[in-house]
A = this chain, B = another copy of it.
């Protein structure tokens, strides 16, 4: 984003006025459209509000913008002369469609991080750059000299990646499958989007863990689904809840993240897994199993997925490289019955015509390479180290004020704040103090929970991040 040049001899407010005039003439802000508030623009540009006030008054004097009290500052309509020309009412168009906007908390987090990259980031659910296999990827990319992979791809995804996944899923996840049962997706996000848009219909009831990252995804509501809760305790969801939800609401699908659940970090207990599969098969209910974290298991071998013991084909399995390699690669997969894979591949063609072959080819090379296992070893050790840094810091700074379960894998720690505190107030206080986290209500829980992602922040920042958080908490409860 453009910022005014503080070393220029031209005053800041005039630079800002020039920039806005240009953006208006380029159609970024059409006639009649709303400009950012003075406060917001000042924040974006890192200047005082009074500088923006001056810039706006300059543009007002030129007749380019108009301010009316109560309705903000808008681009003038009259700029375009007396001819009856109408810019489309883009704002009304932008309110069309069935898509709900992202949650306000998530937009606030994104905005705060964009505005101040120095915030210590316990909010973004992804790996730090130094945990991603960047050197390995660069080496693989330099070795690449594939000459045939730039045309439209198979709708199910790049063949060699699906081949690599057949081997990978067997070796690492105990899942036996074939190329034709695999759909490559733009991460779990697209897998879930395809399932909610193409296999379910508006009004359908589905069961979702409580808490769950699913509540942070407006796609469930955008698809018109009715959501029912499966409470998660320290041994996962209770299978008997499935039966009662089915009886009461005729749920049509179960969404579950049994290994190192996001956000709670829990692993579903073995006997509950068999009971869950039994209940699902008794009721003919499909289970969507999201399994992004298993291979991060710090010290034991990763718990096997439901899919590996699914003898009758009840489970639709979702995996990705986002949490174990790099989120920006956007490579995920789904294992599903033939009819489902074909349907979703066909629908996805209409949405984006499939994934770029470049990251798919890179992912296939990486999975097949000798880099993969050593990378996982390093990743697991680093995550464990960061988790312990976080726990030590929490005990030191907030012992007695927080409760948590120690996760044995994954990227997140789910933390109950003992004193009563308002999510929003705590978040703003933390941002003020230089640290950011994800409030529990984003995941559907009551106020007073926090998800700390320890994978993203630098190790050396974790103790000071928690110390800043502790100050914010003390400020927010007093």
Contacts and interface: CB of A to CB of B under 8 A. Distances in A.
Nearest 6 Cβ contacts at the A-B interface: A30-B313, A86-B284, A150-B326, A186-B352, A27-B313, A88-B286
A213 interface: no
Contact of A85 (B155, B185, B197, B312): B312
Interface string A21-36: 0110111111101100
Contacts of A134: 147, 150
Copies of this chain, count: 2
Given A90-B286, A93-B199, A137-B150, 10 more contacts: A29-B337, A88-B280, A94-B342, A96-B199, A127-B151, A129-B147, A142-B144, A186-B356, A187-B353, A358-B358
Q: Point out which of A2, A87, A154, A352 has the most chain B C-beta atoms below 10 A from its C-beta.
A: A352
A: interface residue count bin: 35 or more
A222 B127 CA distance: 37
A177 B310 contact: no
Given A87-B281, A102-B350, A352-B187, A150 B327 contact: yes
B144 A328 contact: no
Given A87-B313, A141-B144, A328 B350 contact: no
Given A27-B181, A189-B353, A282-B86, A149 B328 contact: yes
Which of A89, A179, A252, A350 has the largest number of chain B CB atoms within 10 A?
Answer: A350
Contacts of A382: none
Nearest to A159: B1
Given A110-B155, A337-B29, A281 B86 contact: yes
Interface string A198-223: 11110010000000000001110010
Nearest to A138: B145
A31 to B, nearest CB: 6
